[in-house]
Every structure is written in structure tokens, then in C-alpha cells.
Amino acid sequence: MKKNLLSMSTLFLLLVYIATSTYELAAADDKKVKLKPVVVTSSRIYSQDEGLRLSTRCEETLPMDTEEGESFLSVPGALEEVTLVDTRTRGPYGIQSDISIRGAPFEENLVLLDGISVNDPQTGHHNMDLPITLYDIEKIDITYGPASSVYGSGAFGGALNIIPKAPRDTLNIHAASTTGSWDFYSGSASINLPLKNIKSRSSVEWKRGSGFKPETEFNALTASSYTEGSFGGANGSLFLGYLTKKFGADSFYSNIYDNEEESVNTGIIIAKSEIPAECREGYQMKITPAIYWKRLQDKFILDRNRPFFSRNDHTTNLYGGEISSAIDAPFGSAAYGAGAGAETIESTNLGNRSRVKANAFLEYEARILNFLLNTGIRFDYYSTFKDEFSPALGVAYELLPGFSVRARAAHAFRVPTFTELYYRTPANIGNPNLEPETAWNYEVGAEIKKEFFYVKTDVFLRDSSGVIDWTRAVPTSLWRAENIGEFNIYGVEVFFGLDFEKIYGKNFFKKFDLKYSYLESTEKKGIISKYVLEYLKHDLNLRLECNLPFGFKEYFDFRFKKRVGSDHYFLFDSVITRPVKLGNNSMNLFIRLDNIFNTAYCEQGDIEMPGRAIYGGASVEF
């Protein structure tokens, strides 16, 4: 163990030395360099080329800092309405949600906050327990497809990167309030404070509701702060977040007990710095060190009427540091770096466990005329598993202005969670002998981008080995965590958008979007699967934005979903918004109608979801 720690520390310090030495040589003239904002979801590379339109990946961005964004009740709800991310919720308002991209179960998708992986080592059920208020989110970058060559373990199906909203240069206060069905109430407040070299925004958000049926009540409080500063040519940022929530968990984990209760406390600290430097004419470089810490406490009671009958207490810690360097030069763009960290848990059920990890990565991208090449490789070390190498290679070619094709092959892996390894109950048995699961992903795609419309389609195959799932041979036997062997899933994704205003000018119809995915997999015979085989076979999202008289806007969302092993269902929602000017200040009003046709449906097992609901709210900024 000491030898592993020594080797890991040596590797990390070596990369720090290389990066800082390069910076010292490059920044000899101490000249400030202004770099472009960087999208860090699927690549650590940045480019000075403003005209670069090509990508070797299928990506999507969900803006949250919009009029409609004020009406979203949760991050999972926004993802469900607008994207092809499958959010399987056990309760309304995102009180507990699992995400699935390209049919990958909830454990096989990566969640990042400001470019830092925050996947919970206990269980993926906590990956969306994020301590950031809705107002503090600028956008969510989505990568469809693996990202292990960039971020390591977890990004089988894809990745979400939640980007905090940058503080403003002016003093302002934002307040919002929402109320609606089942005694739902949400209130939030945020203040933006600019100083000489530092600007920060601090926010608090409270949500509560009595629940749409017994044992579904909840109470949640979130506080988050984001600070940016500039010192001696370097830019730094600090994110602080805390979430505490308690909720009734009717049949969340067992259909035998309907009086389950759970409480979760999550804290996150992320400190980053960006040090720019100019090497020589035509070259740009930046160095980005970061440190992070996430702590999550989870208390689960199987029967709240008998709190000591069956109770699990877990506390996990995820912490570490990383440093990366990126350079943009005439020969192309490159990024390299390394990181180290640890994951620990103290649990009444899982025991006290820990594992150390380290990584190093290299990525290169070059554009020659209309051709784009992207390649990368990452090495990951875990103290409790074998080493993993994750290579990736992607190409894209612009056939005509605005029309491009692409192809990509990438390797992905995921280490088991502590729950999969050590969990033991009368119904579930973990497996300490589990090995990491791996996959190769192959995809081809085409994209057309014009001023008034876009079309994007991708076809992919994910060839997985050593897949981890909870299985049993017959319905009466125990669930056991196993490496079930090979599993292939393939599918097609289609994105289409039309901007009516850019064709006809301002009229009733403003924008239309269609998103559809179809998935198919190889059959696994002789076992009953708990998660792997419950993917969305058909997922269709239709979205229409309209201009109404007197400055109102209306959004219509229609969704069709067919999950393997379940009946299909339709959902129809609508949101009406109206901005109001109050002198130099602004207000935004909204009315939201969810599940207008009162569809009865389940997203997770037999846990029923809410019927028709109405909400109204207002926000003001001054």
C-alpha cells in the first residue's frame, strides 16, 4: 500500500513539475493573455479558432439561465423535458433521480460539477444529490457516448457537466417563489457582490411539499456560493455547496415496506485556478490546477414507524486534486495532466472501506482544412483494482459549409460502487469479488447546421464486457451483484430543430425541436436483470415554443416513452411565461401545467408518478 501511494504521489508531483516548469518558461514576459471560455464536458482542449464548427462527438447544451429556466422545478425535470437523457425518478421534483444515457444504467453515467467528477462511491442513486441551487446553474453540457479517455471511471453511456453561473460585475439581488399542487412551495434568494478583484454570488433555496400520496412528503434546503478572482494574471474560482433533505420514500427500495424514510446531506468544495501564458507568436497555453472534496451522509430507515428495526447510516468522502495543461499551436491543440485522490465510506452495513486512485491523460486535436482529428488516452490506477487504459479516436469532416460527418471509437470502464461490493440485506447480496466493467463504443454521425435549422443523427454500438448488474435466476431468489459477461446495445439518435422566426420573422410559432432515440440490445437468457435491461427502447421528445399576445410565451412539451418490459406512455406539459419590466428592474412570471392528460405511469419499477399538477411562480431581479 505504501509503495502504491509513493508511486502515485511521485507521478502526480512529476506532472505538477512539468506543468509549472512549462509555465515559467512560457510566461517570461508576464504578458496577460485572454483565453476563450472552455467547454469542459467531453474534452480538455481549447482552441483559438473561432470558426471551428466540427466535433467528433455527439453533444448537446441545455441552457438554464433563460425565462423558461425559471419554471423548472429540478435539474432532473429539465433534463427529462428537453433532452434525450433518461431521468428515472422515484419521486417528484427530482427528490431522488437516476440518469441514463444511451441505455446505460444509472451507475454507468458520469456527473460533473464545473468539470469535476462527483459520482458517489457508495451508489449512483446519489449522483444527482447536488448542492447547487437552480438559479446558480448557467447550463448543462451533455455528452452522448463514453468519456473515460477524459474523465476516467463512470462515463459508459455519457456525461453531464453542470456549469455554475459566473458572478456578475454589478451588485444585484435575485429572488423567486413557486407554489403549486400538493402543498408544493419553493423559495430562493441570491445576491451578487463584486469587489475590486473578486466577485461572488451566494444563493439559498428551500423546497417542501406534502406529497401527491402518503409517504412522499419532502423538505430540502440548498445553499451554494461561487466566487471568482483575478490575481497577478491568474484567474481562480471557488465553489461551495451544501444540500440537506429529508423525504418519505414510499416503496423506493422495497415494495414490502411503504413507510421508508431517507435523509441526505451533501457538501462540496471545488477550488480551481487558470493560469494563462503566451509561449510565442501563434501559441497559447494555460495551466489549470484544481482540488475538490465531496462529503455525503445518507440515513435510510426501512420502516419509519419502527426506526430501529432496519436502519443504514453511510458517510462517504470523495477528495483529490488534479492539474492539467492545454496548449493551442499551429500544429494543433493538446492537453495533458494528472490527478490523484481517494474514496472512503463509513457504514453500518457496508463497513469502513477506502480506495486510492490516480490518473494521467493526454489528448491531441488537429484541424487540417475541413478535416478534424481528435485522439486521447488516459491511464487510471485504483488501489483495489487492476490498471485501466482508455484510448479514444475520433474524426470529423466538413463536406459542405454547415454539413459534416464524423466517426469515433472509444474505450470506457467503471469500477464497482461500495454498495455493489459489500451490501447485504435479506433481499440483496453484494459481491466483493467484482471486477471493473469495460466497453468499446463505436459511432458514426452526420450534422447539418444552418441559420434557421439543424439536423443531427448518430448511430452507435456499445460492446461491453464484465457488465455489473444485480440479477437472480427466479423471482423468489435473492438479488446478487455479478459480472454478467458480455452485453451489446446499439441505437440511433435524431435531433432536429427549426427556428420559425429566422424564416418568417416574429410570428405565433417561434421554435420547434424533435429528439428521438431507438435502442436495441442482445438478449441475456437465464437471468432476471434489475437494471441493465430496463432501458428506454423508444424515447421521443417534441417541443414547440410559441409567441402569444401581450408578450407571453408558451412552451408545449410532448413525450412518448417505451421502456423494455413496461407499457408505453405519453406525457404532455405546458409552460406560459411573461417577462415584466419594473423600471430598471425585471420580473418573470410563469404558470406550469404538468401531465395535463393525467397519465398514470412509472419510471422506476412499480413506483407510481404524480398525475396532473399546476404550479405558478415569479422571480424578480434588482
| Per-residue model confidence as pLDDT tens digits over 243-261 | 999 998 777 776 666 678 8
400 or 309, which is more confident: 400
Q: Does pLDDT of 202 surpass 70?
A: yes
Q: Are 162 and 135 in contact (CB under 8 A)?
A: no
pLDDT value at residue 585: 87
Strands (E), 181-233: 184-194, 198-209, 218-231
Whether the full predicted model's pTM is greater than 0.95, yes or no, is no
User: What is the C-alpha separation between 557 and 545, in angstroms, rounded?
Assistant: 9
- Which range among 11-25, 70-84, 107-121, 298-312 has the greatest average pLDDT? 107-121
Residue 355 pLDDT: 98
Residue 69 is predicted with a pLDDT of 80
Q: What is the pLDDT of residue 149?
A: 95
Please check the confidence at residue 576 and state whether its pLDDT lies above 80: yes
What are the residue ranges spanned by the domains of the chain? 2-621
Q: Can you give the pLDDT at residue 255? A: 65
Q: How far apart are CA 381 and CA 6, in angstroms?
A: 13
Residue that the C-alpha cell 501511494 belongs to: 5
Q: Say which amino acid occupies 126.
A: H
Widest CA span in the chain: 72
pLDDT band at 47 (very low <50, low <70, confident <90, very high): low
State whether CATH 2.40.170.20 applies to domain 2-621.
Answer: yes
Q: Mean pLDDT across the stretch 175-191?
A: 96
Asked whether 515 and 84 are in contact (CB, 8 A), the reply is yes
**Residue 461: other Cβ atoms inside 10 A:** 15
Residues 6+ apart with CB under 8 A from 174: 135, 188, 189, 190, 191, 192, 203, 619, 620, 621
The CA distances from residue 575 to 73, 121, 349, 572, 610, in Å, are 12, 37, 44, 11, 17
Average model confidence (pLDDT) across the chain: 88
Q: Which of 34-38, 304-308, 501-505 has the highest mean pLDDT?
A: 501-505
Give me the pLDDT at residue 256, please: 65
52: which residues sit within 8 A by CB, 6+ positions away?
367, 372
Percent of the chain with pLDDT over 70: 91
> Confidence class of residue 505 from pLDDT cuts 50, 70 and 90?
confident
| Amino acid 177: pLDDT | 96
State the pLDDT at residue 473: 86
Q: Give the residue with greater pLDDT, 312 vs 283.
A: 312
546 with 532: CB under 8 angstroms?
no
Q: Say whether pLDDT at 8 is over 80.
A: no
Nearest one of 88, 125, 124, 82 to 103, comparing CA atoms: 88
Residue 213 confidence (pLDDT) above 90 = no
Q: Which residue has the cell 490498471?
A: 387
Q: How many of the other CB atoms lie within 10 Å of CB of 183?
A: 12
| Residue 424 DSSP code | B
Which pLDDT belongs to residue 277?
77
